[in-house]
Amino acid sequence: MSSPLITAAELAEALDSRLPPRLLDCRARLGDPDAGHTLWWEAHLPGSVHLDLDRDLAGPPGRGGRHPLPLPQAFTATLQRLGITPELPVVLYDDMGGQLAAARAWWMLVCWAGHPDVRVFDGGIKAWLGAGEELAEGDHAAPHASRWVPTFHDEQWVDAARLPTIRALLLDARSRERFRGDAEPIDPVAGHIPGAVCRPSADNLTPYGRFKPANQLAAELPEAEAVVAYCGSGVTACHTILAYAVAGRPLPRLYPGSWSEWIRDPARPVARGD
């Protein structure tokens, strides 16, 4: 299986090829819906288009959590607006080692919509600058729209109703402090889903913000016949799934609603501690 990651040298070569990839800037800041587009406007990889976490990669917050999946027709419209087709390679990047919207976009394109050629730029914008490449500013021509209508694979995710009935290892991608309930900076209830195991998404990266080698991830990632990944709102959990892909391991399913949906029903149990 080919790697879901791409290096700076590989990306530079791909952008000069006869079929350059659609390059999507996925930078975002939780709690500031306009920050990602502002960052993209100020400086971005040449030819990239901004892909917004809150507007493009999630539906309206509510009973489904802070970042529920958008309706399939809404995501289809986004893909068409961006000119994406199965024949066009796609490269995604952010500035947080893929932990926010880049991994979420990868999961939605590959696991949910079934796109065959999507990679995440390992190291993101910092790796681009570290390779001596330049950034662009401002807007540019919008891509030509496509007519692609994906076939969505809803078996790749689970909802709150199905979660208790599934025999699977439940993997929490949040920090250990949030998992234990020692701190909760975002959601109104602290703790975790009973029976879950904590594996912070940050543990997938080296201190330099790049993915650990595949063999190291394969040795570190929890192993079970079935795995379901969750986090606060179904975003960093996608980084966990991406790490399994880098390691060449079977992919977990995603619980998109995650903790922010789970706690909306006071009848659902909550655990604290390790």
- Residues classed as catalytic: 231
The answer to whether the CB of 74 falls within 8 A of the CB of 119 is no
Measured between alpha carbons, how far is 254 from 14 in angstroms, rounded to an integer?
Answer: 30
SS3 of 48, please?
coil
- CA-to-CA dists, residue 27 to 97, 117, 192, 220, angstroms: 10, 21, 27, 27
User: Dihedral of CA 245/251/255/258: which sign?
Assistant: negative
What amino acid occupies position 161?
Answer: A
- CA-to-CA dists, residue 10 to 16, 122, 128, 131, 242, angstroms: 10, 11, 11, 11, 19
